[in-house]
Chains A and B, each alone.
Chain A
Amino acid sequence: MTAQTVTGAAVAGVGVLVCVVASIGALVARDLLDRLHFLAPVTSLGVPLIGLGLAVDTGWHLTTMEILLTVGVVAVTGPVLAAATGRAAAEQRGLIPAESPE
């Protein structure tokens, strides 16, 4: 087992741990907006760490670029979806006006 594999596995392991803890937190949270907060660690930390670990283990390869692109898509789209869901929840509760800003 090379140092590259051990490093990649360690980084990916931390990412897996972040995803598991955040998912259980989202399941335990009672309020919708509290649940949304638990999405951020998964999309912004957990998934990129797993992708980084896989990239380190794979080395410089075309697949590495594909893995990094995939986790990049998740990291960019995750906060967008969380913001849109939060806005829909706030509209539903009457906290903000229903018409969207345009």
Chain B
Amino acid sequence: MSFWPIASLVLMVGALAPAVGLGLRGGPLDRLVGLQLSGVVLVPVLLLLAHGYAQSAYVMVALVLAVLSFAGVLVFLRLLETRR
């Protein structure tokens, strides 16, 4: 196995799992930080997997996730602000 899938696995276990854990506890804003961190960490995970398995077309998936994750968190923030 080459370096890139291993790096992706390390990132999933070491960074994505804590981010998901963060999204499962605390108040709404604490969970939102977990969602934000999950989206940000998932982008390099997808980039590393696409590079590791030589599927360059899948880099587009990471790009779309980066844009949609930004928009999604902004929408959730807006909803949390109007709920108060």
B3 touching A9, Cβ below 8 Å: yes
A54 to B18 Cα, complex, angstroms? 24
Number of residues from A at the complex interface, CB < 8 A: 46
Interface residue SS majority, chain A: helix
Do residues B21 and A27 form an inter-chain contact, with CB atoms below 8 A? yes
Cross-chain contact B74 with A26 (CB below 8 angstroms):
no
The residues of B that contact A46 with a CB separation of less than 8 Å are 44
Q: How far is the CB of A89 from chain B (nearest CB, A)?
A: 5
Give A66 to B32 CA distance when docked, in angstroms: 28
**Known pairs A19-B15, A50-B47; A26 contacts B33 (CB<8 A):** yes
A84-B77 contact given A50-B48, A70-B47, A70-B63, CB 8 Å threshold: yes
C-alpha spacing A23/B74, complex, angstroms: 21
Interchain nearest-CB distance for B4 vs A (Å)? 8
Are B48 and A39 neighbours in the complex by a CB distance under 8 Å? no
A92 touches B84 (CB 8 A): yes
Q: A23 to B29, Cβ gap below 8 A?
A: no
Pairwise interchain contact B41-A50, C-beta atoms closer than 8 A: no
Instruction: Find out whether the CB atom of A78 lies under 8 angstroms from the CB atom of B74.
Output: no
Chain A, residue nearest B8 (CB): A16
Chain A residues with CB under 8 Å of B16's CB are: 23
A17 to chain B, nearest CB (A): 9
A73→B41 contact, CB < 8 A: no
The 3 A-B pairs of least Cβ separation, nearest first, read A20-B14, A23-B15, A27-B18
